[in-house]
Homo-oligomer: A and B are copies of this chain.
Amino acid sequence: MPRDGTQTRTKILDTAEAMILDQGYSATSIDKVIDAVGVTKGTFFYHFENKAALARTLVDRYAAADLSMQREFRARAEKLARDPVQRVLVFIGLYEEMMEGLTDPYPGCLFASYLYEANLFDDGIMAVIEDTYLDWRRELGAMLDAAAAAHPPKLPVDTADLADMFTAIIEGAFIMSKTLKEPKLVAAQLGLYRDFVELLFGGERG
């Protein structure tokens, strides 16, 4: 076996992702990436067929990490609480907890970054983002359905919409946190979402 190239490949991916969140995909030229990594253009095109393949690899990696964390937090919430409402609250709380630990403003979401340059990407790439949002609607929606079945909500809300609200708040809070340079803003918004769910399904313990 020859020498291992996975380190170089990962460094290219990490550097490119950070640069894309900073200045967008279009302005992140291959030349700038390889300069930052310290490799040549040949190395880049050895690891990736073209710039679009880099974009695809990045979004796949990002979506996989997102879903992985979602599953982990769902599993933890199921163990930590028995009542469906409490499980949702714990699930949101776990994300809140994570965001409270931030010292720098969140660098941003790769999905949102791609969306605001959507016309530069093919349908396959945008479908990854779409599927991830729909997965969130489905999975968190199911948790909220269970909550609604156990404790009827104070107002008749659509659980799919309420699930979407989590994603929307996260995306919006990322934008505001980065703009205002306030690292705690994301956790604060998740706290409000948690308050809303708690008010909706009542504060009773299960």
Contact = CB atoms under 8 A, between A and B. Distances in A.
Interface of A: 21-27, 108, 111-113, 115-120, 126, 129-130, 133-134, 154-155, 157-158, 161-162, 164-165, 167-173, 175-176, 178-180, 185, 188-189, 191-192, 195-196, 198-200
Given A22-B119, A24-B117, A27-B26, A161 B188 contact: yes
B165 A189 contact: yes
B188 A164 contact: yes
A158 B178 CA distance: 20
Contacts of A180: 130, 133-134
A111 B179 CA distance: 9
Contacts of A178: 115, 118
A25 B27 CA distance: 9
A176 B175 CA distance: 14
